[in-house]
Amino acid sequence: MTATSHVRFGAGDQLAVVEQARIGALAVAVERDLHTVVADHRDLFAGRPFDPALVSGIAMSVAFTAPEHTAEQLRVTARTVLWVFAADWQIDYLARTADDVREVTAACLAVADAGPSSARHPLARLLGGIRDELSATPAFALVEPVWRDELGRMLAAMSREWRWKTTRGTGPGDPTLDEYLDIADNTGAMLVSVTHWASVGDQDCLDHLDALRVAGRATQRAIRLINDLATHRRDLQWGDLNALMLADATDVTARLTTTVEESRELLRPLERSCPRQAAFLSRQIAFTSGFYRVSDFWGSL
């Protein structure tokens, strides 16, 4: 008799495994679609960090944060997460000059304003396809100005991070931790959330969009800190900016604790008025926290 033969699994354990398996299968379906995107945009995803595990991680993140939806319903949400990774790669790693950054951001904003026919950059072409899919959803006419604003915020935050990173040691000094968290839009989390709500959101979501965005900003600040605490070594290797370069680990961890609590406080009233959307935000923190205990999204350089 083995040491494990006395272990008994109750009905609750079995139900938990069944649900986790269902969400895992949902992630597999989402992942298959993302691989078609990668195949169709090889010029964007040629870098070694875009390995199959990154695509798998993105699919899991979407499936576990919105498990009540089908793979088809999550298609544009997942594609937007993949696009954010591509944008981060283009601006944070590949861009060598300020003109490079301006070219990428201008091309993407032009697509957001004028449609895919204006795409002059591979990143903009992929964004144009996402915008096309969103424009076919009933809510997008109302949400489009918010979506455009979040896109602009994300690109502006990535551009500011690039300037800070490239002038470290030569400019007026590093940003403070507060200043760094003010550009947490560089995670793209709010753009993804607004895309998701435009795609699958109900009337409760649209009625509380402003409050959801406020809570979402706290959520993405928490995600920024969770990411930085887990990826400091990789950021040093890649030359990225990280909260641990601006403050010691004790201060960063304390800030994470208060930021998570801020997010929870903002989400509590939304759990009654629009529970599915509030859950989408709270699960982002939960998934990110669990995922980074074991792995990273990016592959190696």
Tens digit of each residue's pLDDT (9 = 90 or more) over 213-262: 999 999 999 999 999 999 999 999 999 999 999 999 999 999 999 999 99
The 8-class DSSP code of residue 120 comes to -
- pLDDT tens, 261-271? 999 999 999 99
- pLDDT tens, 172-225? 678 999 999 999 999 999 999 999 999 997 888 999 999 999 999 999 999 999
pLDDT of res. 2 = 46
Q: How would you write 71-97 as a 3-class SS string?
A: CCCCHHHHHHHHHHHHHHHHHHHHCCC
Question: How far apart, in Å, are the Cα atoms of 56 and each of 26, 32, 66, 237, 283?
Answer: 11, 9, 16, 23, 18
What's the whole-model pTM score? 0.93
- Torsion region of 151: left, alpha or beta (phi above 0 gives left; psi -120 to 50 gives alpha): alpha
Length of the chain: 301
pLDDT of res. 171 = 62
In the structure, what pLDDT confidence band is assigned to residue 37 with cuts at 50, 70 and 90?
very high
- pLDDT tens, 83-130? 999 999 999 999 999 999 999 999 999 999 876 666 779 999 999 999
What CA–CA distance (Å, rounded) separates 143 from 139?
6
**Positive or negative, the Cα torsion across 31, 33, 36, 42?**
negative
The 8-class DSSP code of residue 297 comes to S
pLDDT of res. 167 = 87
Average pLDDT taken over every residue of the chain: 93
The 8-class DSSP code of residue 42 comes to T
Q: Judge contact between 107 and 124, C-beta under 8 A.
A: yes
User: 4 pLDDT exceeds 90?
Assistant: no
What CA–CA distance (Å, rounded) separates 113 from 136?
16
In the structure, what pLDDT confidence band is assigned to residue 10 with cuts at 50, 70 and 90?
low
Q: Which helix (H) or strand (E) holds 280?
A: helix 275-291
pLDDT of res. 12 = 63
Q: Which helix (H) or strand (E) holds 217?
A: helix 209-238
What CA–CA distance (Å, rounded) separates 181 from 228?
11
For range 280-295, the mean pLDDT: 96
